[in-house]
Structure 1
Amino acid sequence: MVHTRGLRVPLVDLDGTALRTDRYELTMLQAALRSGTAERRAVFEVFARSLPAGRRYGVVAGTGRLLDAIEAFRFDAAELEFLTANGIVDEPTARWLETYRFTGSVRGYAEGECYFPDSPVLTVEGTFAEAVLLETLVLSVLNHDCAIASAASRMVRAAQDRPIIEMGSRRTHEEAAVAAARAAYIAGFTTTSNLQAGRRYGVPTAGTSAHAFTLLHDSERHAFEAQLASLGASTTLLVDTYDVERAVRTAVELAGTSLGAVRIDSGDLGTVATETRALLDSLGATGTRIVVTGDLDEYGIAALAATPVDGYGVGTSLVTGSGAPTASLVYKLVARSDGPEPDAPMRAVAKRSTGKPTRGGRKTAVRRIDGHGTARTEEICTGEPASGARDRVLQVPLVENGEIVGREPLRAARDRHARALDELPPTAHQLSRGEPAIPTEFTEGGPRP
């Protein structure tokens, strides 16, 4: 054990998810247990008051990771010892936590779906005690993954069907890198450089060599020969270590006209790509692709749309949300019962805080679709909504009575995102600053239990 500001903490982090939370979740629990309000039924809602400045839509990602984390949310003996030894919770609260298991229900937008301001991205229902403990975990997963997927979606649209590799692992926390690769794949990235994302989530992986490999050898020619001998002519050769033109000529000389691709990582990418395409064609390597990397974001990708670039690699901008590293989602209590009895009436509750008000009541969301198959409004209803034949009710069951029911293959989320994007009006895909692609409207529906 080591001591940090009076707290005794283990030298090695634990694998569970229960302590990936804020202390005040547990102090609220302890106080609620003492006051007799802990067992009141509660409804928490996850939403964003607004999108990042200028963005037209957000993308739901992280749901699959969150379901795994909720299932693993348990307090073991070592964790409880840490909590009690450091005075974070008292013994009665520790005994309650010892048998903790989320037994409530979760509904939410399916992963890959688009969302807008005030969309009820996730609804968590259970006792106050068991639902409040999930707040920090829910927000840490969804705020990160939604931010990454939202940025990735814009990049994919800017690429206009050209493939993009995610390569941001060296620019973020090691676990965030794995989550980012997963979120980017949902949004349409083709591959990732991160092997853990490949192993854990099945995201296709890709990668060949860095400049260090070229510098290791006595000459660029020797480096290319070694890579071709190992990976074959279909590989991608990095051609900007010294002189691009000379490297391209050497690459084609060694690999022949069947060389898979060349990568350019520096300089004026548009100009260099145009010159490289002309050179490759003159050498007969008309099928050799050109991949560009180097501090690209959605704007840089869009600027290369008219150039002969065949693919992109994106790192830093992707894993930092391209200027919006959080989705700014919040987790707010919107309804609670008057007592602990299962049949106690529910009442809507809401904050009146200046600048941070909330709308009370359990909500349902419907995306209104016109006769052309285009989304027109995001309707948020505090009762049971009326929906037309083309409209889509957006929330789906994820957890029922504590059991995970919403798991699905990652490919399903990726396909869903493509469909959701196609449904949005054309303005959604503009990179210029603007309002959300569709407005959010609040209505009163029929009664709900």
Structure 2
Amino acid sequence: MPTTALLTDHYELTMLRAALKAGTAHRHSVFELFPRRLPTGRRYGVVAGVGRAMRALRAFRFDEESLAFLTETKVIDQPTADWLADYRFSGQMWGYPEGEVYFPGSPLVVVEGTFAEGVILETVLLSIYNHDSAIASAASRMTAMADGRPCIEMGSRRTQELSAVAAARAAYIAGFETTSNLEAGRRYGVPTAGTAAHSFTLLHNSEEEAFSAQIAALGADTTLLVDTYDVETAVRKAVELTDGKLGAIRLDSGDLGMMAKKMRTLLDSLGAEHTKIIVTSDLDEWNIAALSGAPVDGYGVGTALVTGSGHPTCGFVYKLVARADNDEPGAPLRAVAKASKDKISIGGRKYALRRLDDKGVASHEVVGIGQPPQGDHNDRPLLVPLVVDGEIVHDEPLTTARERHARSRAELPMNALKMSRGEPVIETLWIEPDGDVISDSFSGGSEETK
């Protein structure tokens, strides 16, 4: 894998350069990646990108070409280049595992090491987590509204080519069944699916000829796109050509609910009771919810999914929350935090658990400052080790993250699945070492990190 070291903002390396010169670069430090709030109106978020972040960390090396660029453009000086040449993250990381839900203030990643080691990871971690979690959060709402009916990710043509691969991965974690993106299948093992577009029908002299060609190549169990010309005529011909054994039809335009009902009646009357109806055409979670009463068997979702359905980023930030006063081994850490208006953060290393009631329903996100909060018999600790002494220890298949998401979402109160705009479905409680609760949320304001 090519180096990921330059997936970095310029200012991180100028901070590093200045800290090395000042003699403060090696102070023991703790950084945290967290959301100040959920995107407006959302009731929960979904963590995704952990596996990709670990992959990026593994490749975070400053090779000769990278260092030459940085020195020639005077981003860094020679002492900084010498330090970066040997860079290997040697500290510790903990984080919420993929598929877990999160709330305002959740300490999604805790990075502990020297200031120098941690500060230069800010941009690469934020870019991965902000993108992938935005997609997974939108995907979770869509699969919740689909209520067990399969969703197909098909947004590759609506976003940047590598973002499309990451989006397919994130959507799968949040419950999508398949993707149209073949690179996501190759790289991450996401199941792929796809049949034909309108151009295939238009290529042939007639719809019957196009359908016959597709059936000959893919079998009667294929999905035929039936709205190039007249939908009813197309459905009748599709059933005739497959002796009623057609796998599915796809509707891609018009009033999808009304058309699905009409075509279900027609299919059944023609003896094609087992032929499924798949709908596409700029779907989002609200469209899917509106189609819940229609005889639809699956949804293909593109643009809304890969753009986060109106929220293309989660607004995560990455902040220094604790540091030593010198670089002596064992020097005690002290909490630090910015106090800028509307952009506050809470100092001190965090720990988190999900508080559950006696019925196993989530009631609070509990964040301990400086030490783990006390839980009871069924509360769940949320942070898992990601990196231990520089070694990446967290590696799991996507199916594990997918199963975790299903369990985590199922723990939430029923209000979590409302499509109306609302507040986070559970509160975040901040617990000081003496047990005092100091806050239940961050204040509002800008999510800009700089």
- TM-score normalised by the shorter chain: which range applies? over 0.9
Unaligned runs of 5+ in 2: 436-450
Would the aligned equivalents of 1:385 and 1:446 in 2 still touch at CA under 8 Å? Answer: no
- Deviation of 1:386 (Å): 1.1
Pick one of 324, 349, 361 that aligns with 2:336: 349
| Number of the residue aligned with 1:195 | 182
Pick one of 41, 45, 49 that aligns with 1:62: 49
| Number of the residue aligned with 1:413 | 401
- The CA distance in 1 between the partners of 2:83 and 2:422, in whole Å, is 49
- Deviation of 1:338 (Å): 1.1
- Deviation of 1:446 (Å): 6.6
- Deviation of 1:389 (Å): 1.0
| Number of the residue aligned with 2:216 | 229
Would the aligned equivalents of 2:2 and 2:59 in 1 still touch at CA under 8 Å? Answer: no
Would the aligned equivalents of 1:333 and 1:350 in 2 still touch at CA under 8 Å? Answer: yes
Say yes or no: does 1:428 pair with 2:416: yes
- The CA distance in 2 between the partners of 1:206 and 1:142, in whole Å, is 26
Aligned pair in 2 of structure 1 residues 93, 147: CA closer, same or farther (>3 Å)? same
- The CA distance in 1 between the partners of 2:81 and 2:136, in whole Å, is 37
| Number of the residue aligned with 1:403 | 391
Aligned to 2:274, what secondary structure does the other structure show?
coil
Kindly provide the amino acid, as one letter, of the partner of residue 234 in structure 2.
A
- Deviation of 1:195 (Å): 0.3
- The CA distance in 2 between the partners of 1:157 and 1:256, in whole Å, is 35
| Number of the residue aligned with 2:373 | 385
- The CA distance in 2 between the partners of 1:290 and 1:380, in whole Å, is 46
Would the aligned equivalents of 2:32 and 2:111 in 1 still touch at CA under 8 Å? Answer: yes
- The CA distance in 2 between the partners of 1:15 and 1:214, in whole Å, is 41
In the TM superposition, 1:50-449 aligns within 5 A as: 50-382=37-369, 383-445=371-433
Cα displacement string for residues 125-152 of structure 1 (whole angstroms, at most 9, x for unaligned residues): 1100010010000000000000000000
Q: CA RMSD in A?
A: 0.9
Kindly provide the amino acid, as one letter, of the partner of residue 52 in structure 1.
P
Would the aligned equivalents of 2:196 and 2:224 in 1 still touch at CA under 8 Å? Answer: yes
- The CA distance in 2 between the partners of 1:44 and 1:375, in whole Å, is 27
Aligned to 1:47, what secondary structure does the other structure show?
strand
Aligned to 1:331, what secondary structure does the other structure show?
strand
Cα displacement string for residues 174-210 of structure 1 (whole angstroms, at most 9, x for unaligned residues): 0000000000000000000000000100000000000
Would the aligned equivalents of 1:152 and 1:189 in 2 still touch at CA under 8 Å? Answer: yes
Cα displacement string for residues 2-26 of structure 1 (whole angstroms, at most 9, x for unaligned residues): xxxxxxxxxxxx9310000100000
- The CA distance in 1 between the partners of 2:188 and 2:433, in whole Å, is 39
| Count of residue pairs brought into register by the alignment | 434
TM-score, structure 1 as length reference: 0.96
Aligned to 1:344, what secondary structure does the other structure show?
coil
Aligned to 2:384, what secondary structure does the other structure show?
strand
Would the aligned equivalents of 1:191 and 1:206 in 2 still touch at CA under 8 Å? Answer: yes
| Number of the residue aligned with 2:11 | 24
- The CA distance in 1 between the partners of 2:329 and 2:387, in whole Å, is 19
- The CA distance in 2 between the partners of 1:34 and 1:26, in whole Å, is 12
Cα displacement string for residues 16-42 of structure 1 (whole angstroms, at most 9, x for unaligned residues): 100001000000000000000000011
Kindly provide the amino acid, as one letter, of the partner of residue 266 in structure 2.
L
Aligned to 1:61, what secondary structure does the other structure show?
coil
Would the aligned equivalents of 1:17 and 1:72 in 2 still touch at CA under 8 Å? Answer: yes
Would the aligned equivalents of 1:143 and 1:328 in 2 still touch at CA under 8 Å? Answer: yes
- The CA distance in 2 between the partners of 1:299 and 1:227, in whole Å, is 33
- The CA distance in 1 between the partners of 2:414 and 2:158, in whole Å, is 33
- The CA distance in 2 between the partners of 1:446 and 1:206, in whole Å, is 54
- The CA distance in 2 between the partners of 1:362 and 1:392, in whole Å, is 19
Unaligned runs of 5+ in 1: 1-13
Kindly provide the amino acid, as one letter, of the partner of residue 414 in structure 1.
R
Aligned to 1:228, what secondary structure does the other structure show?
helix
